[in-house]
Amino acid sequence: MAEEKSGGLVTGRAVEICANIDDMTGEDLGAAMELLLDAGALDVWFEQIQMKKNRPAVKFCALALPEDKRRIAELMLRHTTTLGVRMSEVERLMLAREVRTIETRFGNVRVKRGTLGGEVIKEMPEYDDVRRIARETGLSMSAVRAAVAEDAEIQTL
């Protein structure tokens, strides 16, 4: 994907791939979500919808790079009950991002930082690292995040 920086923001294109599904279990939908994420989808999500005859359903959506759209769409067709998908190209506007590794009381933790025009707008520890530490220590996710934030301040991030 050709991304370009403009005024401190990163712009780019992506493709939103969606299907309405009313005949899959939550477990199977979750497995399909994981499969698409593992295959390189940028994001995958579900939206609650009502279909004809008042049937509750799920709108299953994935965001993919334009060069990955066919592969991700084929995986959605193969691993869900849908007979077709809709694809729409979308424009994205994002903060410039960088990932840094910091030393904390729990060991190394990756921290994602979003900047705009050189100013740090957002900074958060990487979810997978927080989850791993929470599992290893028995602490809650929020307690781990707070401790990592405290350690990051000590290191003047």
Q: What pLDDT is stored for residue 5 in this prediction? A: 60
pLDDT confidence of residue 153: 76
The one-letter code for the residue type at 140 is: S
User: How far apart, in Å, do the first and last CA atoms of the chain sit?
Assistant: 30
Confidence of residue 6 (pLDDT cuts 50, 70, 90): low
- Sorting pLDDT into bands at 50, 70 and 90, what band is 152? confident
CB of 4 closer than 8 Å to CB of 92: no
Q: Is 2 a residue whose pLDDT tops 50?
A: no
Provide the CA 148 distance to its chain's centre, in angstroms. Answer: 21
The per-residue pLDDT for 7 is: 61
pLDDT of residue 52: 92
DSSP H/E element including 142: helix 141-154
pLDDT at 117: 86
Domains and CATH numbers, the chain: 4-92 (3.30.70.1380), 96-154 (3.10.20.300)
Q: What is the DSSP string of 45-75?
A: EEEEEEEGGGEEEEEEEEEE-GGGHHHHHHH
Q: Write the pLDDT tens digit of every residue in 32-89.
A: 999 999 999 999 999 999 999 999 999 999 999 999 999 999 999 999 999 999 999 9
Band the pLDDT of 1: cuts 50, 70, 90.
very low
pLDDT in the model for residue 96: 92
Locate tokens 């989850």: which residue?
Answer: 131
**pLDDT tens string 96-132:** 999 999 999 999 999 999 999 888 899 999 999 999 9
pLDDT surpassing 90 at residue 19: yes
